[in-house]
Chains A and B, each alone.
Chain A
Amino acid sequence: MTLRTPHRRHRRGTDRRPRVALTVTAVFFLLLYLPIAVVVLFSFNGQKSLTVFKGFSLRWYSAFFHDNVLIESLGMSLRVSLVAMAGSVVLGVALALGLVRCRTRLGSLAGLIMLVPLITPEIVTGVAAMLLFKGMDITLSSGTVMLAEITFSISYVTVILRSRIAALNPEVEEAAMDLGATRWQALRLVTLPALLPSILASAVLVFALVFDDFVLAYFTTGVDPQPLSVRIYSAIRFGVQPTINAVGTLMLAGSVGLIGLALAIPRLFGRRGGLDLLSGK
């Protein structure tokens, strides 16, 4: 056997295309997109039927925009997502900075607490938040949803930011301080600008996650108004109106757009960083 370049070797390792794996992958992609395609397709259905497509029409979109309850829910979902985004980004970025730089015992405890939402099923967090609010005699409303969503989203921001901060070269910050900047100035003028793409990306991600979140919102919302996803849940449980297809399609478009934005932000800034969703690291 002659010496091969790594490139050649790589090629050889993948020479044989495994037919079974390819078939599974094709079927997987088909089944992954089929449900989404069904929702989108039937949102344009001229008939009320959910199984037979007859004629293109925008009547369900028009029905949605004329439905005051749903529009009110949309407004609430947007408000909740915005507040949760702002709150969790501020708290989460600060927490991530502290966690990376502060190697004290308090720091490791904070790191553990931060992980709790990620290893607890949402139904548990939802039940717990609801009991806490009821126990403190707080009426459930959009405010309680915001509080619960902030709590849950801090972890996402912190996890995304932490790896980015750890990858920064601390010497740059030290150089700024050697040039006379205070630690706070170094943080504000050197570190935070370097983190801006990741911060924006995590903000967009949190917005999308909170907007689409159902379980936590379901347990912490009041009766009226209710977030859009809670309305969808009721609609799906008690017989689907085709309007839900239109709402669903709009929400799909919204989240796909937001995720695309979150993934594109680092590139817009022309440097690496931001979301590591795809590299899986």
Chain B
Amino acid sequence: MAQRTPSGALRDRRGRSASGTRLWTWLMLPGTLWMTGFLIASLILVATLALGTTDPLGNPRFGFNFANIAAMADPAYRIVLLRSLGFALIACAVCLVVAYPVAYTIALHGGRFKNLLIAAIVVPFFANYLVRMYGWSVVLSDGGPVLKALRAVGLADAHTKILQSGVGVIAGLVYGFIVFMIIPLYAALERMDLSLIEAGRDLYGGPLRTFFFVTLPATRQGAAAGAVLVFLPAMGDFVSAQLMGGPNQIMIGNLIQDKFFQGQNWPLGSALTMLMMAVLFIGMLGYLRRTRKDEAEAAR
């Protein structure tokens, strides 16, 4: 239903005009072309180079062979991949367990300090990642305050170490990315209808039962979003394993870094990158299916 407005532009039913659509398309174009040219093209390049080879000097050559892909089945790589998956998943779980009480306390008991407290969590995460990780490694070091405190209460002895172990790497990932868990959880708890908790109590649910049967299910989507937001960067991280772990705790990010810098085998590095993307893609699919199911249930 075209109709003429006083300004003379023709508009269809939803108020769009041909000239408007043209302007919006032109506005959209530079950014989209830029991202396609740099990002999408470069990702395709990585996928293509994964099928390439290196010449005897180590220079990458494009090709069409699956040697690099087949190499991914090598037990050495499989161990690193499984370790990365394990570290990232444990980091997600630890983030959830720590972030939930924090988000809960702030959302429900923060009162007028709510925004201030959330800002106090967000602001440090804009500080330089390396500086934060370095400070964290000092705190967790053998003579650092955390181990001293643990020794004082008898939870650690003189030989306990956090750095140079898997625990150190996971601690690094948690410190690095926990904000991505707190924010969606906080948002979910803020949105939650608090009378649900009250209803749970009115129905004689104890605090724990109310929490597990009312609060937790109501904020499941926030937890799932947080898990994805932590899992993505944790899988790709290589700084934590380098600073907090030893040579026996390397993650797939370290392998990729090594193939592109020290090892100079770009095709193999590209194949490893694709492998990581594949794992993340599967994780994302799982998340999307989960949320779709939740939405379908909510719609019913």
Query: Which residues of A does B touch, CB under 8 Å?
Result: 9-10, 12-14, 16-18, 20-22, 24-25, 28-29, 31-39, 42, 50-51, 91-92, 94-95, 97-99, 101-104, 106-107, 109-110, 113-114, 116-117, 119-125, 127-132, 135, 147-148, 150-151, 154-155, 158, 170, 174, 177-178, 180-181, 183-184, 187, 208-209, 212, 214, 219, 229, 232-233, 236-237, 240, 244, 247-248, 251-252, 255-256, 258-260, 263, 277-281
Interface stretch, picked from B72-80, B126-134, B152-160, B161-169, is B126-134
CB distance from A191 to the nearest CB of B (A): 11
Select one of A16, A28, A214 contacting B130, CB under 8 A.
A214
Q: Is the CB of A280 within 8 A of B175?
A: no
Across-interface contacts of A208 in B (CB, < 8 A): 126
Across-interface contacts of B25 in A (CB, < 8 A): 98, 102, 104, 106-107
Select one of A10, A135, A248 contacting B194, CB under 8 A.
A10
Q: Is the CB of A131 within 8 A of B194?
A: no
**A-facing residues in B167-201 (Cβ within 8 Å):** 175, 183-184, 186-187, 190, 194-195, 197-198
Further contacts, 4 of them, CB under 8 A, given A123-B273, A219-B260? A10-B194, A13-B108, A107-B24, A183-B17
Considering the chains assembled together, what is the distance between the CA atoms of A236 and B137 in angstroms? 10
CB distance from B30 to the nearest CB of A (A): 6
In this complex, what residue of A is CB-closest to B193? A13
Q: Is the CB of A209 within 8 A of B126?
A: yes
Given A14-B108, A24-B101: A94 in contact with B260 (beta carbons within 8 A): no
Q: Is the CB of A13 within 8 A of B269?
A: no
Q: 17 A-B contacts, Cβ less than 8 Å apart?
A: A28-B98, A32-B121, A32-B175, A35-B139, A95-B27, A98-B27, A104-B21, A113-B35, A122-B233, A123-B257, A148-B38, A177-B7, A212-B127, A214-B128, A233-B130, A256-B127, A280-B187
In this complex, what residue of B is CB-closest to A90? B30
Does B250 lie at the interface of the complex (its beta carbon under 8 Å from any beta carbon of A)? no
Query: Which residues of B does A touch, CB under 8 Å?
Result: 5-7, 9, 14-17, 19-21, 23-32, 34-36, 38-43, 45-46, 49, 98, 101-102, 104-106, 108-109, 115, 118-124, 126-136, 138-139, 141, 143-146, 175, 183-184, 186-187, 190, 194-195, 197-198, 207, 232-233, 235-239, 242-243, 253, 256-257, 260, 266, 269-270, 273, 276-277, 280, 284
Q: Is the CB of A113 within 8 A of B127?
A: no
Q: Is the CB of B128 within 8 A of A255?
A: yes
Q: Is the CB of A123 within 8 A of B46?
A: no
Q: Is the CB of B276 within 8 A of A124?
A: yes
Considering the chains assembled together, what is the distance between the CA atoms of A21 and B104 in angstroms? 7
Select one of B118, B138, B280 contacting A50, CB under 8 A.
B138
Q: Is the CB of A14 within 8 A of B194?
A: yes
CB distance from A69 to the nearest CB of B (A): 17
Considering the chains assembled together, what is the distance between the CA atoms of A197 and B221 in angstroms? 31
Top 8 nearest A-B pairs by Cβ distance?
Answer: A121-B236, A98-B28, A35-B135, A280-B187, A95-B31, A102-B24, A128-B42, A248-B131
Q: Is the CB of A98 within 8 A of B235?
A: no
Q: Is the CB of A117 within 8 A of B39?
A: yes
Considering the chains assembled together, what is the distance between the CA atoms of A270 and B45 in angstroms? 47
Given A128-B42, A129-B42, A278-B119: A97 in contact with B24 (beta carbons within 8 A): yes
Considering the chains assembled together, what is the distance between the CA atoms of A279 and B187 in angstroms? 7
Q: Is the CB of A131 within 8 A of B34?
A: no
Select one of A13, A21, A22, A98 contacting B195, CB under 8 A.
A13
Across-interface contacts of A34 in B (CB, < 8 A): 135, 139, 145
Q: Is the CB of A124 within 8 A of B127?
A: no
CB distance from B205 to the nearest CB of A (A): 13
Across-interface contacts of A258 in B (CB, < 8 A): 126
Which of B233, B236, B280 gathers the greatest number of chain A CB atoms within 10 Å? B236
Across-interface contacts of B235 in A (CB, < 8 A): 121
Q: Is the CB of A174 within 8 A of B15?
A: yes
In this complex, what residue of B is CB-closest to A22? B105
Q: Is the CB of B109 within 8 A of A131?
A: no
Considering the chains assembled together, what is the distance between the CA atoms of A98 and B27 in angstroms? 5
Considering the chains assembled together, what is the distance between the CA atoms of A16 and B115 in angstroms? 21
CB distance from B224 to the nearest CB of A (A): 15
Across-interface contacts of A259 in B (CB, < 8 A): 122-123, 126
CB distance from B131 to the nearest CB of A (A): 4
Q: Is the CB of A184 within 8 A of B23?
A: yes
Q: Is the CB of B138 within 8 A of A35?
A: yes
CB distance from A220 to the nearest CB of B (A): 11
Given A101-B20, A177-B5: A212 in contact with B194 (beta carbons within 8 A): no
Considering the chains assembled together, what is the distance between the CA atoms of A98 and B14 in angstroms? 16
CB distance from B12 to the nearest CB of A (A): 11
Given A95-B28, A127-B269, A280-B184: A121 in contact with B233 (beta carbons within 8 A): yes
In this complex, what residue of B is CB-closest to A117? B39
Across-interface contacts of A248 in B (CB, < 8 A): 128, 131, 134-135
CB distance from B157 to the nearest CB of A (A): 20
CB distance from A3 to the nearest CB of B (A): 13
